Amino acid sequence: MNYELRITNFKDKQIKNLFLSIVLVLLSWFSSAQVTSSIDSTSIKIGEQITYKIAVEADTTDLVVFPEGQTFMPLEMVESFKPDTTKNNAKYNLIKRYALTQFDSGAYTIPRQKIVVGTKTFFTDSLKVEVNNIVIDTTKQGLYDIKPLIEVDKSIGNWWKYLLYIILFLTLIGGLLYWFIWRKKPLTQEEKVALLSPYERAKLSLQKLDDANYLENEQLKDYYSELTGIIRTYLDEKVYDHALESTTDELVNRLKLLKDGNQIDLKEDDIKNIETILKRADLVKFAKSKPDIALAEIDRKTIDIEIDQVKEALPEPTEEEKLRDQQYREEQERKKKRKKTIITIAIASFVIIGTLIGLTAYYGYDKLKDNILGHPSKELLDGEWVRSEYGAPGITISTPKVLKRSDVEIPEAMKSKLRTGRFVYGSLLDDFYIFTTSTVYTDPNQEADIEKQVNALISLFEADGGQNLVVKNDKFVTPNGAEGLKTHGTGEFPTPGTNKYHLRNYVILNFAAKNVLQQAILIHREDDKYAKEMADRIINSIEVKKEDKKQEENKEEG
């Protein structure tokens, strides 16, 4: 009983849903919006344009979305114009125009177009267009042989711009490094003084002391502090390396010991003069003594003389000391150069790493790596593509490389029954493989068995090591309106020279006409995004040459 009740409830629910769907359809019929489409001509010549117009009448509050992009295939959209809008009471009348064209003769159907008005979706009617060949009057226009191929200079592209940017950037970085690090900067006054010898610095300090006007202002303490500092600094650098921190008695005793040890040829009077001035300076600094200005001037002259005496008393440096001084200076220069080199390397590394981080954030790691280190598929994708027609009847296709003719071994028993041509790039186990073939049966009533051909190719994949093959079939229409079967899927294919398998995508496009079978096959690695872009570009470029109806009728009559 419960089971019957559940069935009844389920049927009631289905009826309600069906009724609701019918109501929604009826509501859409009686919707306030109206959508119509039209073309200004149903017959054009090759390359001429027609205007496709979509007219929409909708409420002022409704958002209207028109189709965009190449949705008019097999016709090509040349231009999409801005909608014209007029207001009629509480409604808007919108007219959207598109310029369409086609470069192959034949009868074409513009597919239905989707328009969204508010929350509702509308579809226009499909429209037929006849594209006619241009008739040439050979009595007025002569016929000429096809002109031979000529070589043209290959375009250099935009690589030179990027090279120029890199050169300018490196030049800027190099200029900044040179200006702030390697350039010999003008010496400051302190640096110039530091390069002087101790004797020259002492003499220069005495001249600065004269210019300080300490005596005119009776600043005796400051005057004697600098005066004794000059003689102490000179002695510290040339005679006794503790002269600055020694007391007067310690310094004098040291000079006497050096004299007695014949390490310095200084007279007793010179040592006495230095001692007298140092002690007088101590009295001025610590006992607040105030000697006469004239005596201070005499002390200044005495210090000047004693600096000369000390210089004369010093022994000439030995060759070992000169070599040691030279090695010291060279070592200092090496340290400076090493410091500059380290700074330069650090800045250059920072700039390079910062640039790489910025480019990685902007472009992504994989794309940046592929641009710097290179990627085989990306090089094919970015290279100069070739568009050509292969086989008879021809398959027109755009590829990154020219497909090469590959001989097909046909059994003797089949040679009289068919002819075929094959063009390939790569091989079945390569990372990217392109294959086209056109087969014509000599029997005009022989129809190609697409299913049999597809099964043969799948068996070929398996024979070459393919496994776990997934097979899907879909309808396929080329840009020039040729219909075919698209067999596609994935499979694991072996990598030559290894025991590894890689997942690959494959696409088999089959086009069958009376006693003709044309195929295009693409195989590429599933994890190669550049190969996928190439495959999509190739598939969207395929056009199959079709015979006119008149030619078919003539063949049948013949």
Question: What was the pLDDT predicted at 53?
Answer: 92
Q: Hey, what CATH topology would domain 189-315 get?
A: Four Helix Bundle (Hemerythrin (Met), subunit A) (1.20.120)
Cα separations (Å) of 491 from 452, 465, 501? 20, 10, 9
Q: Helix-strand-coil percent breakdown of the chain, rounded to 5?
A: 45, 25, 30
Q: Does the pLDDT value for residue 32 go beyond 80?
A: no
Query: 469: how many CB neighbours lie within 10 A of its CB?
Result: 15
- Give the model's confidence band at 507: pLDDT under 50 very low, under 70 low, under 90 confident, else very high: very high
Residue 309 belongs to what H/E stretch? helix 293-313
pLDDT: which is higher, 19 or 100: 100
CB burial class (10 A; 0-12, 13-18, 19+) of residue 101?
middle
Q: Which two tokens stand for residue 199?
A: 């004797």
Q: Does the pLDDT value for residue 319 go beyond 90?
A: no
Question: What was the pLDDT predicted at 6?
Answer: 41
pLDDT: which is higher, 558 or 322: 322
Question: What was the pLDDT predicted at 398?
Answer: 92
User: Please, what is the end-to-end C-alpha distance for the chain in angstroms?
Assistant: 74
Q: Does the pLDDT value for residue 535 go beyond 70?
A: yes
Q: Does the pLDDT value for residue 324 go beyond 60?
A: yes
- Give the model's confidence band at 371: pLDDT under 50 very low, under 70 low, under 90 confident, else very high: low
Lowest mean pLDDT among 124-133, 272-281, 297-306, 422-431: 422-431
- Give the model's confidence band at 152: pLDDT under 50 very low, under 70 low, under 90 confident, else very high: low
- Give the model's confidence band at 551: pLDDT under 50 very low, under 70 low, under 90 confident, else very high: very low
The CATH homologous superfamily of the domain defined by 34-132? Immunoglobulins (2.60.40.10)
CATH class of residue range 376-557:
alpha beta
Average pLDDT over residues 140-150: 65
Contacts of 236 (CB under 8 A, 6+ apart): 242, 243, 244
Question: What was the pLDDT predicted at 549?
Answer: 42
- Asked if 398 and 537 count as a contact pair (C-beta separation under 8 A), the reply is yes
Report the percentage of the chain scoring pLDDT > 90.
Answer: 17
- Give the model's confidence band at 495: pLDDT under 50 very low, under 70 low, under 90 confident, else very high: confident
Q: Does the pLDDT value for residue 21 go beyond 80?
A: no
Question: What was the pLDDT predicted at 87?
Answer: 81
User: Amino acid letter at 107?
Assistant: A
The DSSP line for 241-295 is TTTTTS-HHHHHHHHHHHHHTTSS---HHHHHHHHHHHHHHHHHHHS-----HHH
Question: What was the pLDDT predicted at 553?
Answer: 44
Q: Does the pLDDT value for residue 491 go beyond 70?
A: yes
Residue spans per domain, the chain: 1-30, 34-132, 189-315, 317-372, 376-557
Q: Which residues is 521 bridged to in the sheet?
A: 435, 508
Question: What was the pLDDT predicted at 5?
Answer: 40
Question: What was the pLDDT predicted at 195?
Answer: 76
Average pLDDT over residues 440-467: 82
Question: What was the pLDDT predicted at 261?
Answer: 85
Question: What was the pLDDT predicted at 225?
Answer: 92
- Asked if 56 and 34 count as a contact pair (C-beta separation under 8 A), the reply is yes
Question: What was the pLDDT predicted at 97?
Answer: 92
Question: What was the pLDDT predicted at 301?
Answer: 92
